[in-house]
Amino acid sequence: MNRYPLWTYLLILGAIGVGVLYALPNLFGEDPSVQITPVRGAVELPEIERQAIDALDEEGMDYFATEIDEERVLIRFDSQDLQVAAADLLQARLGNEVTVALNLAPATPQWLRSVYAEPMYLGLDLRGGVHFLMDVDMDAAVSQRLERYQNDFRNLLRQERIRYGRVEVDGDNRVVARFNDAADRERAFDLLRGEYRELGLDQEERDGQYWLIANIPEEEKEEIQRFAVQQNITTLRNRVNELGVAEPVIQQQGTNRIVVQLPGVQDTARAKEIIGTTATLEFRMVDEDHYPYRGEADDPPPPGTVKYPSRNPRYGDYVILEREVMLTGEYIIDASSGIDQETGGPEVNIRLSSAGGDIFHRATRQNVGNSMAVVFIETRQETREQNGETVRERVRTEEVINVATIQEPLSTRFRITGLEDTSAARDLALLLRAGALAAPLDIIEERTVGPSMGQENIERGFMAVVIGFVLVVLFMAFYYRVFGLIANMALVLNLVFIVAVLSMLQATLTLPGIAGIVLTVGMAVDANVLIFQRIREELAAGLSPQQAIHSGYAKALSTIADANITTLIAALVLFLFGTGPVQGFAVTLSIGILTSMFTAIVGTRAVVNLIYGRQRRLTRLPI
């Protein structure tokens, strides 16, 4: 009646073995480490490892392990002081071809890593770091698309030799092309209708001119805005990866907000600068008649030109450029910083897509011998005090960073020189390489969690689990005697399973997640309480001990299933509609419910059957 077949015991032992194996990595802690990542494969990893070891040995800095892990070199140290000092040394020695970042690497033994047993991640509230809540400027996303249509219309009309008066974006969020001849407008209408089917095109006559008006439909605007959020998330992930942050959290919140959590980040100012900055380039021809510029700062530029300030004094305070843009930064697919072999100054090496290379080749082929300028356009958020309140404002900077004579037609690869220092070159390459943001971001909330606070959260959370566990164990042992001890064994096993599943899923444990584990500790014995109380009732009704055990487990099963399924539904709703911390709580609660049903029903029944199932003359139960 109360016996399991051998295969059931073997299955349970196998599950316990797997659970213990994958929970073990969490006992080994973490090592202060420095991770070195090459910039787009600039240097081979074994060569980076050799150079790093030579630099550390020369300075007498002790390390106890180096390894090549995926696409990085990891060097482990005994203390955080050594870690920080080594990071500064390696960044100075290895230069701009690599990204050096601080990390806390799991100290899991190799034999565990060989079976893909890794510890679970720790969230921002446990490890320390920085949290940003960012708002995507949806109006700017639509405006940028309109400006792109404006440039595309101009280029297309020139290519087809259609004469037009002016193409501009007006105040009603639409692109207006003006023509002096109705026939030219009709040709343009047919051309644009075939090329841009997503736009609504209208025709009007005003002030003796023939207008062609392009509107973006509402559904297309919504699609542009959705794309802007997704593109910004992708760009932010690329930038965070370049910063070398381990286990970042980057996710959408609502329709127009993005949450960025960077555990373990120490230089929050640089993180904010890199994450929130929109940077791109424009390439324009210099107006040779006014170079170098000798006018005053307030003088308007000549007709058909634009005036930009210069970052480098040798180009003058201002540079006059032609209005037409030769190429924009959207065609850049790779960028890396380096050293100019001729001058010894910093440089950024640019690689364009094939389409961008064709455009650039045609534009530069027609201007060999003339000067071309590189305009750096940066949008960042600054914070200032105004009337006793903190005010955030978006600052747009447009500067000429380089002027050079075109010696020959350029294609997909070229370089930019004349930058201030290697740090500026490295940051520019990072921003260009990671991609431009599809729309500006406003940081509307910023929180920093110190490592000491994170450690305190871990200690308090661990203490809560221990105290809750001990109290439950004492109560069960006192009230249900031997059966209570069996339930306590199942409770220990349940904790092991929860940790193992979180580790196998590579989930991120947060403070609410610890709260979910504490709640699970209390709930895990509910099923055994129901079973044991049912066994007591069956014994009081006159059934034999063997019949009472069988009846107790059988009759309590439906009640246990009902209670746990309803709790699981609530946890699922929390996960689907909650965000961040609420989802962490829901995940650990859900895992705890599933593992507790296994340990409380199958696990305790197996032990009870093993102890009492084979006793034919069982007269009483210690319950």
Secondary structure letter of residue 42 according to DSSP? S
Q: How far is CA 394 from CA 109, 267, 377, 380, 444, in A?
A: 48, 22, 13, 6, 12
* Mean pLDDT score, 321-350: 79
The tens digit of pLDDT for each residue in 192-239 reads 888 888 888 888 888 788 888 888 888 888 888 888 888 888 878 877
Query: How far is C-alpha 455 from the geometric centre of its chain's CA atoms?
Result: 23
| pLDDT > 70? residue 276 | no
Q: Peptide bond preceding 301: is omega within 30 degrees of 0, i.e. cis? A: no
Residue ranges of domains in the chain, CATH in brackets: 6-25+451-612 (1.20.1640.10), 30-106 (3.30.70.260), 138-219 (3.10.28), 277-448 (3.30.1360.200)
pLDDT of residue 450: 63
Nearest CA among 520, 541, 532 for reference residue 478: 532
- Rounded to whole angstroms, the Cα distance separating 600 from 526 reads 9
* Mean pLDDT score, 575-599: 85
- pTM, whole model, 2 decimals? 0.62
Structure tokens at 617: 């003359």
Higher per-residue confidence, 41 vs 66: 66
Of the ranges 294-298, 319-323, 489-493, 539-543, which one carries the lowest mean pLDDT score?
294-298
Q: Which residues contact 407 (CB under 8 A, 6 or more apart)?
A: 368
pLDDT of residue 24: 93
pLDDT of residue 20: 94
In one-letter notation, the amino acid at residue 115 is V
Q: What are phi and psi of 503, to 5 degrees?
A: -70, -40
- Rounded to whole angstroms, the Cα distance separating 118 from 126 reads 18
User: What number of other Cβ atoms are within 10 A of residue 269's Cβ?
Assistant: 8
pLDDT of residue 538: 87
- Rounded to whole angstroms, the Cα distance separating 347 from 563 reads 65
Residues above pLDDT 70, as percent of the chain: 89
Instruction: Provide the pairing of β-strand 174-179 with 200-206.
Output: unpaired
Most distant pair of Cα atoms in the chain: their distance: 111
Of the ranges 124-138, 162-176, 256-270, 513-527, which one carries the lowest mean pLDDT score?
256-270
Confidence bin at 265 (pLDDT 50/70/90): low
Higher per-residue confidence, 498 vs 125: 498
- Rounded to whole angstroms, the Cα distance separating 447 from 262 reads 11
| pLDDT > 90? residue 554 | no
| pLDDT > 60? residue 42 | no
pLDDT of residue 584: 81
> 185 exposed, middle or buried (CB, 10 Å; 0-12, 13-18, 19+)?
buried
Nearest CA among 127, 115, 123 for reference residue 24: 115
Instruction: Provide the pairing of β-strand 72-76 with 98-106.
Output: unpaired
- Rounded to whole angstroms, the Cα distance separating 467 from 99 reads 44
Beta strands in 340-388 (DSSP E): 346-352, 371-386
Confidence bin at 390 (pLDDT 50/70/90): low
Mean residue pLDDT of the chain comes to 82
- Rounded to whole angstroms, the Cα distance separating 237 from 233 reads 6
